[in-house]
């Protein structure tokens, strides 16, 4: 069983790699659990803290066909495709977004197809595929209308995953992930970066800027749940997915005010006072186009899970970093 | 006012060209009706019967950047993008479908963007973007899940039109056209080819094969209404479209049995007996994945129209060809 992770040095990629190395097996081409013999991590930066003989590192951009060729071969059974340019960056640089978020995904899927091995491909899509006009609660059959280039690119990739799977080129699954919070590390150019920053920085004794109003509703998932759901996304049988390979993930609906209140309950008012409220129209425009409430019966029937409460999410982050 | 039509030698392209030449004007960049000075028809075959000094022909495939460059320049104000590989062909040849239906559309949109003229682009999409799981009646906000490569490619192009418009690169409109019937000419590789053939061939004294069961429900539009709606799609203000540039077109819902009954009412039982019923699983698989019933309040509010009855459609075809 040979597995590849793109974006393998990112925070989700490393966390997923750790999980797979400790789990040791994944559902293999013969239907049963098989030992993971090789775990290939592809990224522009080397992954840290993964000293394991099964790990192989491919250094470079997924936009480079040579990197894709090194990352996926005829023995690759599973691909977790996490690498992407984040929403704010894809909005600021249209070409870069098309190249990394769309063209590189097409390159990857084409390589997987040409391998002849029909690998399982778990693609991380996003709630950013949705935008106004939106119903109050997004249903499983609500039409996505992206209002960001990131969302448009993710949705186009979903369609490739869907069509490549339907044709039997790959066995793909596109999971529409909520905003991940609390992401460890530094702020990035994702429009949603603040959703982690307003928790992470105050807990680390630093000031954080919140660029959206307190009443902004977010659809959230913790890194731990995201990893659970990515692994489940791989393990499901194609038959369970039926005619659509695209699944809206469950999540937690919370206003930014709710998030800060949870932080305050966990760490006290001195910590939550470290947030400075400075509206940023560019961030607000993107974030306010994303839905904050979903009804996800299909995902839940398939076994995907949401976090129990945002307070629990904050506590898990404190435990992880403490 | 300079207009380009891709697929300009196809039956819809020629018909649209005739309509525009006789109408003489279109809404121009300054908001009012402006004289059409130049009408560029792009196709792999030369258009027939269009002898007009305003007409300019560009001969070649839209997959060729040189052809796109010749078809669209900094003075192009309007583009009707009709050229495509039909559904059956895109299913049989995945690469050709991706190249003509997707890559060439991207080439065209990129050329339009680089022109700096922000042209209006009317893109003919299709009900083939929809597939199971489907509600009994497709709503304006029903999520498309394509079950054919043609449908996936059309939907990916819609997303480009949407994002290019949102970013102000073009002023685009993607119209999801029903199956066009009665199409004149010869059968083609469209899975829906029979929907015209079973009317056209018997009326011409020839035998026709119907590859789907009589109870198959189709969503239909006559060529005349299609042209009306394409022109309206151009004339609408961007503000009327709101945040989504993608519109489900109104149509006629009819079973194949209804269609044949209309033919019989118009031309008699001797004509409708020229249909041979020979199920073709490949055609049935594609056609049965398309929805046969829509509710299209948004399109109707914008002024798009359906035919009154299929009998009227058959009579119009008889009048056209008689």
3-class secondary-structure state, position B84: coil
If you average pLDDT over residues B9-22, what whole number do you get? 96
Q: Same domain for A11 and A159? A: yes
If you average pLDDT over residues B242-246, what whole number do you get? 96
Considering only CB atoms, which chain B residues are within 8 Å of A142?
141, 143
Residue B12 has pLDDT above 80, yes or no: yes
Residue A49's pLDDT band (cuts 50, 70, 90)? confident
Residue A107 has pLDDT above 90, yes or no: yes
Closest to B129 in 3D by CA, of B246, B213, B214? B246
Q: Which long-range contacts (CB under 8 A, 24 or more apart) does B24-29 make?
A: B25/B1, B26/B1, B26/B77, B26/B78, B26/B231, B26/B234, B26/B235, B27/B120, B27/B234, B27/B235, B28/B1, B28/B77, B29/B77, B29/B117, B29/B118
- CA angle B100/B105/B109 to nearest 5° reads 160
Q: Same domain for B91 and B11? A: yes
pLDDT value at residue A18: 97
- Whether B266 is covered by a domain: the verdict is yes
Residue linked to tokens 């307190």: A214
- Whether B185 is covered by a domain: the verdict is no
For chain B, what percent of residues have pLDDT higher than 90?
A: 92
**Cα separation of B276 and B210, whole Å?**
6
Q: B114, B145, B153, B285: best mutation site toward chain A, by most A Cβ within 10 Å?
A: B145
Spell B252-287 as b/e; 16+ CB within 10 A means b.
Answer: bbbbbebbbbbbbebbeeebbebbeeeeeeebeebb
Query: What DSSP string runs through A262-296?
Result: HHHHHH-HHHHTTEEE---HHHHHHHTTS-S-B--
Residue-wise pLDDT tens digits, B176-232: 999 999 999 898 888 899 999 999 999 999 999 999 999 999 999 999 999 999 999
Residue linked to tokens 């080397």: A46
- Structure tokens, A264: 């305050």
pLDDT value at residue B133: 83
Q: Same domain for B6 and B35? A: yes
Answer whether B145 sits within 8 Å of A162, measured CB to CB. Answer: yes
**Cα separation of B239 and A72, whole Å?**
46
Q: Using CB atoms within 10 Å of the CB of residue A31, give its burial: 0 to 12 exposed, 13 to 18 middle, 19+ buried.
A: exposed
A132 touches chain B (CB under 8 A): yes
For chain A, what percent of residues have pLDDT higher than 70?
A: 100
Catalytic residue among A123, A150, A194, A310: A150
How many structural domains compose chain B?
Answer: 2
Residue-wise pLDDT tens digits, A259-277: 999 999 999 999 999 999 9
Q: Same domain for B83 and B66? A: yes
CATH number at residue B262: 3.90.25.10
**Cα separation of B76 and B79, whole Å?**
7
- Whether A183 is covered by a domain: the verdict is no
Residue A101's pLDDT band (cuts 50, 70, 90)? very high
| Beta-strand relationship, A38-43 and A55-59 | parallel
Nearest-neighbour CA in chain B from A260: distance (Å): 31
Considering only CB atoms, which chain A residues are within 8 Å of B163?
146, 149, 152
B136 touches chain A (CB under 8 A): no
Q: Same domain for B156 and B205? A: no
Answer whether A243 sits within 8 Å of B146, measured CB to CB. Answer: no
Residue B49's pLDDT band (cuts 50, 70, 90)? confident
If you average pLDDT over residues A79-108, what whole number do you get? 97
Answer whether A141 sits within 8 Å of B133, measured CB to CB. Answer: yes
**Cα separation of A200 and A195, whole Å?**
9
- Whether B187 is covered by a domain: the verdict is no
A237 touches chain B (CB under 8 A): no
Answer whether B243 sits within 8 Å of A131, measured CB to CB. Answer: yes
Contacts with B45 (C-beta within 8 Å, 6 or more apart), sequence order: B9
**Cα separation of B280 and B288, whole Å?**
12
If you average pLDDT over residues A302-321, what whole number do you get? 96
CATH number at residue B126: 3.40.50.720
Provide the residue count of chain B. Answer: 322
Catalytic residue among B80, B123, B130, B150: B150
If you average pLDDT over residues A72-91, what whole number do you get? 96
Q: What is the mean pLDDT of chain A?
A: 96
Q: Same domain for B130 and B201? A: no
Residue-wise pLDDT tens digits, A225-238: 999 999 999 999 99
Which region, left, alpha or beta, applies to residue A233 given φ > 0 means left and ψ of -120 to 50 means alpha? alpha
- Whether B184 is covered by a domain: the verdict is no
- Whether B237 is covered by a domain: the verdict is yes
Question: ipTM of the assembly?
Answer: 0.95
Fill in the DSSP letter of residue A77.
-
Taking only Cα atoms into account, the Rg of chain B, rounded to an integer number of angstroms, comes to 19
B164 is catalytic: no
- CA angle B18/B23/B27 to nearest 5° reads 115
**Least confident range of A149-158, B71-80, B132-141:** B132-141
Residue linked to tokens 């069509």: A163
Q: Same domain for B198 and B113? A: no
- Whether A188 is covered by a domain: the verdict is no
Q: Same domain for A89 and A143? A: yes
Q: Same domain for A282 and A226? A: no
Range of the domain at B260: 194-217+252-293+308-321
Q: Same domain for A238 and A145? A: yes
Cis bond leading into A182, ω under 30°?
yes
- Whether B86 is covered by a domain: the verdict is yes
Q: Same domain for B139 and B198? A: no
CA dihedral of residues A94, A97, A100, A105 (deg, nearest 10):
-110
Q: Same domain for A204 and A153? A: no
Contact B114, B89 (CB under 8 A): no
3-class secondary-structure state, position B223: helix
A107 touches chain B (CB under 8 A): no
pLDDT value at residue B74: 97
């Amino acid at each position: 069983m040979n597995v590849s992770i793109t974006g393998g040095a990112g925070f989700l990629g490393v966390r997923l790699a750790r999980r797979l190395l400790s789990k040791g097996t994944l559902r293999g081409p013969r239907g049963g659990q098989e030992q993971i013999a090789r775990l290939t991590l592809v990224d522009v930066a080397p992954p840290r803290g993964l000293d394991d003989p099964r790990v192989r590192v491919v250094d470079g951009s997924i936009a480079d066909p040579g990197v894709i060729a090194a990352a996926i071969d005829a023995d690759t059974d599973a691909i977790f495709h996490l690498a992407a340019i984040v929403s704010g960056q894809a909005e600021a640089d249209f070409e870069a977004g098309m190249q990394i978020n769309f063209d590189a995904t097409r390159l990857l899927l084409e390589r997987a197809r040409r391998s002849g091995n029909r690998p399982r491909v778990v693609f991380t899509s996003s709630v950013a595929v949705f935008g106004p006009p939106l119903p109050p609660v997004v249903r499983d059959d609500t039409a996505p209308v992206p209002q960001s280039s990131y969302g448009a690119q993710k949705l186009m990739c979903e369609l490739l995953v869907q069509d490549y799977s339907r044709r039997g080129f790959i066995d793909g699954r596109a999971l529409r992930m909520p905003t991940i919070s609390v992401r460890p590390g530094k702020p990035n150019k994702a429009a949603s970066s603040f959703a982690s920053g307003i928790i992470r920085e105050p807990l680390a004794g630093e000031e954080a800027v919140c660029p959206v109003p307190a009443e902004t509703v977010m659809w959230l998932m913790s890194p731990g749940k995201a990893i659970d759901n990515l692994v489940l996304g791989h393990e499901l049988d194609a038959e369970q997915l039926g005619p659509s390979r695209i699944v809206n993930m469950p999540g937690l609906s919370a206003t930014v005010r709710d998030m800060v209140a949870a932080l305050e309950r966990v760490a006290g008012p001195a910590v939550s006072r470290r947030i400075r409220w400075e509206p940023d129209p560019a961030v607000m425009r993107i974030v306010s186009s994303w839905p904050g409430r979903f009804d996800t019966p299909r995902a839940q029937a398939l076994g995907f899970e949401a976090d129990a409460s945002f307070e629990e999410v904050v506590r898990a982050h404190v435990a992880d970093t403490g």
